[in-house]
Amino acid sequence: MRRVVITGLGVVSPIGTGHHAFWQALLAGTSGVNHITRFDTADFATKIAAEIRDFDPGLYMDKKEAKRMDRFAQYGVAAASLALKDAGIAVTPDNAEQIGVYVGAGIGGMETLESQFAVLKEKGPAKVSPFFVPMMIGNMAAGQIAITLGLKGPSSDVVTACASGAQAVGDAARLIERGDSEVMLAGGTECAITPLAVAGFNSARALSTRNDSPATASRPFDKERDGFVMGEGAGVLVLESLEHAVARGARIYAEVVGYATTNDAYHITSPDPEVRGTVKCMQKALADAKLAPSDVDYVNAHGTSTDQNDRLETRAIKEVFGAHAYSLAISSTKSMIGHLLGAAGAVELIATALAIHDGIVHPTINHTTPDPDCDLDYVPEGARKLSIRAALKNSFGFGGHNCSIVLAKYGL
């Protein structure tokens, strides 16, 4: 089994495009949550989200082609382009077949679906765009990345709800370990801040309604949390075999050393209250990494800001790590960027890789009222310098999907 390292990072997020801007905003504790501008929220219980407001697709792709992509695919292409550039890899006819794309989306082209359904109802079937289906379907982010960048290696779209982005990275790493690819662009993308999606999550009572204070609405592990905040964006990582990376003198952010996925097999939306699936997932990822719980210094949590998820993830961490759980630094990236759904795990893995590389972890903002059920160290006071040997990233999704990935500092 070959070793897999991370050599490129690409981010499109509510607090910055490009991993440098994203990382500096995270360390500063910057919230990307504000009032929704995409549609009229007068009749909605939730009026806030973490939107991306300064995105120009023409910087990353042909403008004509961009018009034939849903925004979730545009975000994916942009993040992939940034990641490939950061890695310093030029695609040529000689290497194109050894570079693959595994980029997931939990929902896909929601904007296109809603807009074209309105066209159908108002103007009739003859007016529905011929690009409707290829703009909407979830695999098209991976497809458009491959087409735009000329990548002919293994290609797939991972769909496991909010675990999609992280699981795409784990699955892509497996391909490199097996020798099926030298380089993979892996991650997730999502753009679902739409009337139907917000209405649906509102009906499920999953979203925060802290409309009078958007910047403090996402408050993972805080006793006053009242639901998650929707976000949008994309995160793509360049994974390489260690041999390939060393041979070309690549900068290495971190090494992917462990990966596991399980299912709660309990409920379509609620996590198992006995946390058996999440515990097993973390344990299997650590076993895959050949690490003991005491070897881990940092956990980038799923940390959604919902009552059950935060409380039960805390319980699962304590079951896996025992007394060492109280020595872990734990942070939730969602406190600043909201929940990016299918893109969340990938963007948060980028934050984890940067924490390892730079020796600093970002805070969990808005953690002001302790919850007795969430009694671990969530780094509430600001960014913290920390030498990290290994870090665990959790991502969980509707349908009971669990994903845990272990990253380690390269060279230790």
Catalytic (active site) residue 19: no
Longest dimension (CA), the chain: 64
Catalytic (active site) residue 35: no
Given 19, 244, 339, 362, which residue is catalytic?
A: 339
Give the C-alpha distances (Å, rounded to integers) separating 157 from 38, 110, 191, 396. Answer: 27, 16, 15, 17
Going by their DSSP bridges, the two strands 34-35 and 401-408 should be labelled as unpaired
Rg (CA), the chain: 20
Short-list 198, 201, 220, 254, CA closest to 8: 254
Given 19, 302, 362, 367, which residue is catalytic?
A: 302
The structure tokens 């499920």 sit at: 204
Number of residues in the chain = 412
What backbone phi and psi angles, to 5 degrees, belong to 14? -65, -15
Given 162, 191, 281, 374, which residue is catalytic?
A: 162
Give the C-alpha distances (Å, rounded to integers) separating 294 from 170, 286, 375. Answer: 22, 10, 19
The structure tokens 């794309």 sit at: 101
3-class DSSP assignment, residue 374: strand
Short-list 305, 322, 371, 378, CA closest to 33: 305
Catalytic (active site) residue 162: yes
Cβ-based burial of 407 (10 A; exposed 0-12, middle 13-18, buried ≥19): buried
Separation CA 156–CA 143 (nearest Å): 8
Residues designated catalytic: 162, 302, 339
